[in-house]
Chains A and B, each alone.
Chain A
Amino acid sequence: MDGYYLYGIVGFPPPLPCRIRGLGGDPVSLVPHAGLAAVVSRSGLTPWPLDAEHLTRHEAVVEEVMACRPVLPVRFNSLLRDEGTVRMLLGERAPAFRSALERVSGRVEMGLRVLWQPPEDAEAAGEEEIGGGPGTGYLYRRLGEERRQVRLRRAGERLIQALQAPFRSLAVESRLRRFMTERLLLSGAYLVERERVDAFREGVARARAGFPGLSFLLTGPWPPYHFVDGAPR
């Protein structure tokens, strides 16, 4: 138990009304330095198993801290060997941590995934049936597939633009991943003012009504996992 497990980074001086125990059941405490504090519990240096229990415990600690103060969530299994190393981390990156804390202050992350049914490809039919040997046929099929992907993305992108419009005013910032799979049109993380979470939910409800062909998965509020770096965008 000579090391430290990190859950998050907060400003100092903090009250830490965290009753949840950390990984392995050890109490959660703070290591202060440079006007900041690391939320930690004592831990060995062997990585913790990556399973539901440990992920949930880490998340629960961060969420409890988030309920009362801005926090930068730290990645799972971040282990530091001693208190000096924790202080060094805080000291070296203090300006970035401070500006990130400022950025997420009073805000939460909302997650939105949007599924679509990729449209039938009307243009594709015209591209079939080109003469030549099997090699030519293969190349044309590859070319056809690439063109289909381009058309699909163009159509998807138009849909994303239309979908996104209302969220620009509902969120302070967003991180979007497109086409993680053919059906997963959009994976978005939105940084939302705490008092606008309900408005954001209503925005999603309106999008659901406006785009009945799409499926929406709304999650959150989350700690601001996607917004922990100092510089916006």
Chain B
Amino acid sequence: MMKPEVYRSLGLSDKEYRNILKILKRKPTNTELAMFSVEWSEHCGYLHSRKWLKTLPKTGRYKALIGEDSGGIILDGLAIIFKMESHNHPSQLEPKQGAATGVGGIIRDIFTAGARPVALLDSLRFGPLAQAYNKYLFTGVVDGIQFYGNCVGVPTVGGEIYFDESYNGNCLVNAMCIGIAKKDALVRARAHGLGNPIMYVGSSTGRDGIGGCSILASHEFKAGEEKRPTVQIGDPFTEKCLIEATLEAINTGHVVGIKDMGAAGLTCCTSEMASAGNSGMDIELQAVPRREENMEPWEVMMSESQERMLVCIKKGKEEQIKKIFFKWGLNASVIGQVTGDGLVTIRDNGKIVAKVKAHSLTKAPVYDMPYKKPRYLRKLNKLALSKILKPKDYNKILLRLLAGPSITNKAWVYEQYDHMVGTNTVVLPGSDAAVLRLKGTNKAIAATCDCNSRYCFLDPYRGAQIAVAEAARNLVCSGAHPAAVTDCLNFGNPRKPESFWQFKNCVQGIADTCRVFNIAVVSGNVSFYNESPRSAINPTPTIGMIGVIKDVAKTCSQNFKEEGDSVILLGYCREELGASEYLKEIHRVTAGRAPQLDLRLEQAVQKTALEAIGKGLVNSAHDCSEGGLAAALAECCVSNKDKMIGANINNLYYNMRADALLFGESQSRIILSCAKDSVEKVRKIALRFKAPFCVIGRTGGRFLKILNGIKELIYLPIEDLSEQWRGSLKKRIEG
């Protein structure tokens, strides 16, 4: 009998170990134990989440593609492949390399499908910048993304950055990659065809990252723990060569299947490729290119060295494929072949060190976890508006909100990222969604990622619904039809019923809302155990969404374009301040419930905006989100620094608190601007879709002026708005 310390130190429970004994009908070898420990880790095996992930819709209005490691949609003859993945724990320990390898890993998931990576987005969350360690994390993560993304030549075109106390001690780094392929050129992560060679390509194998997924990603942080050796080191130059070599190899038509050696490295690739192909594999570890001496077989199987892949190719084509990888200065070595016995057989110098059924490794146990609504919500969800003091000077409040870390312009970050390489970026970062043209067609795709985790904390189901609705709204504002979703689900410890309740409700919120929008969830990732010694993070189901623009000439962005245009509000304002940025930033209150969401209203508003943009009637479109109507209008005024335009909003007649009108975060609102003679046409569209429509004012001048009735609430020079919105992040970082 193996000592419990051994398997427990690898992250396996007593029950899981007994299960392994039952499967093997004998004691596992060290290598087998290591293999089970990584394949049955939360990160690879989705033990706690799988039951609920099954409820997500897998079909939608665009034909969905669901692969082993990524998913996508079909658009004419093209496949748009995309996925978002977390690299939270490594980034918390070593922000630069953690973020860099997160980017590297997600790019590999895309090009191993045969798609050329064309864009990256990142959703980042940290504790408040006032704490020195959070500043270190934030600047380190940005540095890691620029270090990797810029060199590898994939533009970072969008994303989101939030700061909240709940991320103290556990930051979130979610990276999303989009790739394009001809639809017939896609490759799966499968090995089949008796006797077909299994080839190892890319970097050599070292001891870096051993146990990254089982030890690091599948447990929460405890005070004083030293986990840095489990973080991998990235080499974007090698990855760039690997992209080119892999796509060239796939192009020969001789590649049967291919998979990135990411989490759980060679273990994951051998067992999952064999399992997905209903085959077996016989591997000789001595053939694995190495960068360190005297590695034990289990170390080779567990290593998470970066920029490596396993490829199954057609027999007889070994030399042709090797030549391509050699040309790019990469390793390529045949390390085994496909067998028909369904077993993963691992040899070291001919001696068998592991022999396990591939299916048994990949069918990790599924746990049905208990869940319970947290008690604290009963109190937190109650918000007595009467107890929130009404501010005297709304101008000051607006300026403070614009300068707040979550709303402020993020140019300090995205100007460090090459967001133009590839010459596809038609709408640059800083608008509601990034837009990429599809060369050779007149279409474009738009991409965004969204999640307001404060909403999810106070109401997980509705918060997740809003994340989907807002992502769709952002795409619509760029002129895109929402098409498909990837989700990156960041939560606390699933063994805590309160955490699991958050998870379950968020997944249900995503599933239900995607069904209403008729869009599929084509790929995703779950990251549990996001807890610091003090507490769990806010539940954060980040939604990455792709949309389709049918005519690239009809894209739209958020900034006002012309003086004298009419400003239109689609949707309407409710008196709701719960969970708002305003309450948090100004009153230091996190309470109430997430704003209401009426999906029928949401769709009416989105359809109106889409049709108006599609018909070329509209000059700008912007979603109202954090900071409400006032912040959104301010952004419309100043977000093009070469051409800032003021506005006079003088047709609002709401009987409600002024702070709720200005800063409340009612959903389903879009601000449009259009030439005066287009107003009636837009109104007719709104009428047809039954979307609330109101001309609320006019663009022009050097001031943003907002009145409710005849009462002036906001009167500010656009230069002041711009200064607060534009300059504050840099000031916070560089002083």
A and B bind: no
Residue positions of A touching B, CB distance < 8 A: none
